[in-house]
């Protein structure tokens, strides 16, 4: 699924490379909201094919960092290099953007884009596989309005993956999920990471949870990036 831009640039987990090969590159990024410094001089490189967990307490700047990475806000100062326009970034933020009166299945089927799939059958195969791994195939006929928070979150995540992104950015995707379901989500993202080279950026205030997964952890404290490395060293 990657275009030629990505060939030869997959550096695997946790390997920081230079600005040229990176997917995201932030240099001295500061974001102010009035007198609040949400991010302070953040230096960050994310390579294609990495899984990165952004941790930190509430208010540490996780959402702001993800908004910068997804091109939603520009820094007050500093430099940002974002992926090229042909790299599709799927995002799941707190606002899940599902259609409440439609069933979960109908919401998922809205993700079908004939330009991305050889056939509707191929799309349905992906959809069914994702629903099976996430354990929601028996609840697809519920409307989103009837669904609980965990089901809604899973539908939003599956829909984002059905858009066949190269990058998946999720803000607290497990806030309504217990540890078992959080692991299922991790397994799905890991599968897409291994099979398709999906780059994952996942923000969570629950560091103990994401420490159990394989990937790089970056930790924010009052807007400062204070740690970047493998979970076992934190
Ligand atoms: N749009 C905004 N306007 C004003 N202040 C904001 C805005 N977004 C975030 N902040 C502030 O910036 C800081 C970091 O927030 P945020 O990035 O949401 O942290 P986190 O996601 O880690 O909880 C907090 O003090 C928050 O109140
Ligand atoms: Mg947040």
Mutation choice for ligand 1 from 54, 61, 171, 222, CB with most ligand atoms inside 8 A: 61
132 is a domain residue: yes
Report how far ligand 2's centroid is from the alpha carbon of 169 (Å).
13
CA-based max dimension of the chain: 53
Atom of ligand 1 nearest to the CA of 223: 14
Q: At 62, which CATH number? A: 3.40.50.300
Terminal-to-terminal C-alpha distance of the chain: 34
26 is a domain residue: no
Q: How far apart are CA 219 and CA 198, in angstroms?
A: 22
Q: How far apart are CA 146 and CA 165, in angstroms?
A: 28
180 is a domain residue: yes
**pTM confidence score:** 0.90
Q: How many domains does the chain have?
A: 1
Atom of ligand 1 nearest to the CA of 205: 22
96 is a domain residue: yes
User: Is the pLDDT reported for residue 92 higher than 70?
Assistant: yes
User: Is the pLDDT reported for residue 11 higher than 70?
Assistant: no
User: In this predicted model, what pLDDT tens digit does every residue of 138-154 receive, in sequence order?
Assistant: 999 999 999 999 999 99
User: Is the pLDDT reported for residue 189 higher than 70?
Assistant: yes
Instruction: Report the nearest-CA residue for atom 27 of ligand 1.
Output: 59
Residue 99: give the domain boundaries.
48-73+86-233
Strand partners, 27: 79
User: In this predicted model, what pLDDT tens digit does every residue of 27-79 receive, in sequence order?
Assistant: 999 999 999 999 999 999 999 999 999 999 999 999 999 999 999 999 999 99
Average pLDDT for 173-193: 93
32 is a domain residue: no
117 is a domain residue: yes
**Cβ atoms within 10 Å, residue 196:** 15
29 is a domain residue: no
User: In this predicted model, what pLDDT tens digit does every residue of 212-227 receive, in sequence order?
Assistant: 999 999 999 999 999 9
Report how far ligand 1's centroid is from the alpha carbon of 39 (Å).
9
Atom of ligand 1 nearest to the CA of 67: 17
Report how far ligand 1's centroid is from the alpha carbon of 63 (Å).
7
DSSP line for 40-97: EEEEEEE-TT-EEEEE--TTSSHHHHHHHHTTSS--SEEEEE---TTS-EEEE-SS--
38 is a domain residue: no
Alpha helices in the chain (DSSP H): 62-69, 104-109, 120-134, 149-162, 179-196, 207-210
Instruction: Report the nearest-CA residue for atom 1 of ligand 1.
Output: 33
Instruction: Report the nearest-CA residue for atom 3 of ligand 1.
Output: 33
Mutation choice for ligand 1 from 59, 76, 93, 203, CB with most ligand atoms inside 8 A: 59
Instruction: Name the packing angle between helices 179-196 and 149-162 (round to 10°).
Output: 0
């Amino acid at each position: 699924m990657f275009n030629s831009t990505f060939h030869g640039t997959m550096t695997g987990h946790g390997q920081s490379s230079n600005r040229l090969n990176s997917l995201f590159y932030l240099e001295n990024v500061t974001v102010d909201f009035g007198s609040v410094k949400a991010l302070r001089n953040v230096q960050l490189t994310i390579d294609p094919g990495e899984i990165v967990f952004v941790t930190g307490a509430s208010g540490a700047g996780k959402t702001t960092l993800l908004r910068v990475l997804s091109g939603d806000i520009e820094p007050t100062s500093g430099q940002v290099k974002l992926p090229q326009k042909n790299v599709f970034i799927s995002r799941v933020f707190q606002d899940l953007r599902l259609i409440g009166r439609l069933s979960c299945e109908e919401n998922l089927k809205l993700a079908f884009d004939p330009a991305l799939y050889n056939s509707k059958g191929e799309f349905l195969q992906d959809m069914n596989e994702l629903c099976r791994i996430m354990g929601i195939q028996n609840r697809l006929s519920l409307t989103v309005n009837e669904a609980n928070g965990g089901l809604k979150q899973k539908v939003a995540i599956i829909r984002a993956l059905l858009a066949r992104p190269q990058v998946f950015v999720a803000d607290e995707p497990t806030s309504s999920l217990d540890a078992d379901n959080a692991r299922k989500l991790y397994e799905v993202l890991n599968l897409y990471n291994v099979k398709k080279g999906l780059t994952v950026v996942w923000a969570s205030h629950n560091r103990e949870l994401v420490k159990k997964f394989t990937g790089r952890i970056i930790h924010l404290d009052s807007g400062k990036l204070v740690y970047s490395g493998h979970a076992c060293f934190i």
